[in-house]
Amino acid sequence: PRPTRQNSPRRTKMGAYKYLEELYKKKQCDAMRFVLRVRCWELRQLPVMHRAPRPTRPDKARRLGYKAKQGFVIYRVRVRRGNRKRPNWKGIVYGKPVHQGVKGLKFERNLRSVAEERVGRRCSNLRVLNSYWINQDATYKYFEVILVDPNHNAIRHDPRINWIVNSVHKHRELRGLTSAGKHSRGLSNPKYRPSRKAGWKRNNTLSLKRYR
């Protein structure tokens, strides 16, 4: 008998974006290693920061809010990997020994947040929406940053994205309001909500009610 809708086995269909997502989960497979190596060579020949005609990872960009419509811009940027060396002349710190470290210092924010900051300063008339990793080698990490034009009518008339037009979202990336910025603020831990300062105050304030 012909299978009906009730007794037919459940089929899970995968679209094109889902295939891309699964492919990027296996970065060590031969195909992805070859593609990433060739792309990395190409990225090294390009300027440090430049506008990309389209996202390298369309599935990831769409999950982070990108739409292929007017008003959305993709910028590609590379950031040098490694720790933050203290910028002292000849590594000489004129102070107490506790502060004399030069090479072991770690920057508080991650490199993706640094990439967002640099693109946000270059494109000061746009708003940083989000960003994602695309490649890396021994020296650099490469990111793509999604920007939105708050003055474009296609953005201002779209109820799903026009929240970013509000002036309180100017330079979100400089105030730790993007996804990468929130990561370094420790907001994934409920102990530090709504902010680290408010969480510290709540945990260190003795509150004795009058009628208890």
Which residues are CB-neighbours of 51 under 8 A, at least 6 positions away? Answer: 73, 74, 75, 76
Q: Is the pLDDT of residue 8 over 70?
A: no
pLDDT bin (cut points 50, 70, 90) of residue 209 is confident
Tens digit of each residue's pLDDT (9 = 90 or more) over 181-191: 998 888 888 88
Q: Is the pLDDT of residue 138 over 90?
A: yes
Q: Is the pLDDT of residue 63 over 90?
A: yes
Which residues are CB-neighbours of 193 under 8 A, at least 6 positions away? Answer: 187, 199
C-alpha 16/C-alpha 205 separation (Å) is: 53
pLDDT bin (cut points 50, 70, 90) of residue 10 is low
Tens digit of each residue's pLDDT (9 = 90 or more) over 87-130: 999 999 999 999 999 999 999 999 999 999 999 999 999 999 99
Segment 139-156 shows an average pLDDT of 97
Please give the full DSSP string across 19-30, using - where no structure is assigned. Answer: HHHHHHT-TTSH
Which residues are CB-neighbours of 69 under 8 A, at least 6 positions away? Answer: 154
Which residues are CB-neighbours of 88 under 8 A, at least 6 positions away? Answer: 102
- Confidence (pLDDT) at 188: 80
- Confidence (pLDDT) at 174: 95
